[in-house]
Amino acid sequence: MGDSQADATRDRTPLPAPLARHYRWLLTLPTPPPQRLLDVGAGDGRLLQVAADLGIPRLLGLERKHRWNPANRDFVPTIADAHRLPFPTDAFDCVVENESLEWIKNPIRYLQEAARVCTPSGLVITDDSDWDTLVYAVSDTARARRILRTFCDTGPNGWIGRAAPSLMR
Ligand SMILES: C[S@@+](CC[C@H](N)C(=O)[O-])C[C@H]1O[C@@H](n2cnc3c(N)ncnc32)[C@H](O)[C@@H]1O
């Protein structure tokens, strides 16, 4: 999607409904609605699809590298590192990351950067899971524990869902 005007009429890969609902909820937290949105660790651009559907006019996704086939054919991420956002101060009125903070090595550095590029009246949103407190409805408890351990103990910040509120302060 790059820095271009969002076009709500594009062909899009359908998102699972609960995920789309969650993204919609997240993106309607800022009031008034944002005009310039940055999604950090944008992955395949799925959150930006929803942002386009909501009519947010200026959308930018930032990614460390091209990893996946874009869900949105027109999604072209800015390739950069979240620790050094290549944007001027106050460039956005909403900066969001979804399940990316756990992979960003220095989350405080990222949060400082997010606050810098977000206008003072805007909103910096972090949306990360506290994997350890999720309830997995599976009969194989040993497997469930292995899954939890994998989520929590791999990657630089597997416990970020729990740590993020105090880091934000
Ligand atoms: C778990 S994925 C989440 C993707 C997307 N936000 C979603 O919810 O589908 C984490 C993403 O963060 C990106 N990422 C990790 N560290 C990064 C960094 N330092 N700078 C930019 N992107 C980064 C990864 O490349 C990956 O696409």
Residue ranges for the chain with pLDDT beneath 50: 1-11
Position 12 scores a pLDDT of 55
The CA 162 to ligand 1 mean position distance, Å, reads 18
Ligand 1 binding pocket (C-beta < 6 A) is: 41-43, 46, 62-64, 67, 81-83, 98-100, 103-104
pLDDT at residue number 120: 97
pLDDT the model gives residue 4: 41
Q: How far is the CA of 70 from the centre of ligand 1 (A)?
A: 13
pLDDT tens digits along 12-60? 567 899 999 999 999 999 999 999 999 999 998 899 999 999 999 999 9
Do 56 and 23 contact (CB within 8 A), yes or no? no
Question: What is the 160 CA–ligand 1 centroid distance (Å)?
Answer: 14
Q: What are phi and psi of 79, to 5 degrees?
A: -90, 115
Distance 43 CA to ligand 1 centre (A): 6
User: Which atom in ligand 1 lies closest to the alpha carbon of residue 104?
Assistant: 16
Nearest-atom index, ligand 1, CA of 98: 6
CA separation for the pair 86, 84 (Å, rounded): 6
> 3.30.465.10, 3.40.50.150, 2.40.340.10, 3.50.50.60: which CATH number matches 17-130+160-168?
3.40.50.150
The amino acid that residue 164 corresponds to is: A
- Quick one: pLDDT at residue 70? 64
The whole-angstrom separation of Cα 42 and Cα 62 is 6
81 CA closest ligand 1 atom index: 20
pLDDT score, position 1? 45
How confident is the model at residue 95, as a pLDDT?
Answer: 98
Query: Best substitution site from 19, 48, 100 to test ligand 1's pocket, by max atoms within 8 Å of Cβ?
Result: 100
Number of CB atoms found within 10 A of residue 46's CB: 24
Order of strands across the sheet that contains 58-63: 78-79, 58-63, 36-40, 92-98, 118-127
Q: Domain residues of the chain, as ranges?
A: 17-130+160-168
- pLDDT score at 69: 64
pLDDT for 72 equals 64
> Cβ of 54: how many Cβ atoms within 10 Å?
16
Q: Which of 20, 18, 16, 70 is nearest to 42 (CA)?
A: 70
Q: How far is the CA of 42 from the centre of ligand 1 (A)?
A: 6
pTM: 0.87
